[in-house]
Amino acid sequence: MNEDELWEGDTSTLRLHDAQHECAWSYDGEQMRLAVTSPTIAFHLEMEGGSQVMWSKDKLGAEGLIQEGPEGDYSFYYSLPRLRVAGSLADTDEGGQITTVEVSGSGWVDPQWATSLRRTGSGAPCALITEPD
């Protein structure tokens, strides 16, 4: 996958895919959209309220930049709290029956990008945590 396949600058969308999975994550400074599909599960979520950013900060003194581990192992980390979340989750059972559930509530997102792959295995963990209305 090359950079042009991963990032769509005109829509601020990150796209990841393989033969059976697809993920699209976009953010315009206020609204986020996340769509993930696989053979057995899919979810489409819209999140609003992302302009309120909580930046992590440690001894490095830079917003969002923290040192984790030895010198040179840095992470860029921030939180988007108090998001309004709505969308749908779909599950396909072994018989091919699809069950879709509409969801809404509040949540937050904690994205983190690391210079070291030793700790995370991928370099880009992200947690989406939601609470029902």
Residue 123 has pLDDT above 70, yes or no: no
* Predicted local confidence at residue 51, as pLDDT: 79
Residue 84 has pLDDT above 80, yes or no: yes
Whole-number Å distance between alpha carbons of 111 and 68? 15
* Predicted local confidence at residue 36, as pLDDT: 96
Whole-number Å distance between alpha carbons of 49 and 55? 15
Task: Tell me phi and psi for residue 20, to 5 degrees.
Answer: -120, -5
Residue 118 has pLDDT above 60, yes or no: no
Which domains does the chain possess?
3-132 (2.40.370.10)
Residue 48 has pLDDT above 90, yes or no: yes
- Residue with more model confidence, 43 or 118: 43
Residue indicated by tokens 């991928």: 122
* Predicted local confidence at residue 97, as pLDDT: 97
- Residue with more model confidence, 21 or 113: 21
State pLDDT tens for residues 1-20: 555 578 888 888 989 889 99
Structure tokens given for 98? 């699809």
Whole-number Å distance between alpha carbons of 99 and 31? 27
Q: How far apart are the first and last CA of the chain?
A: 39
Residue 130 has pLDDT above 80, yes or no: no
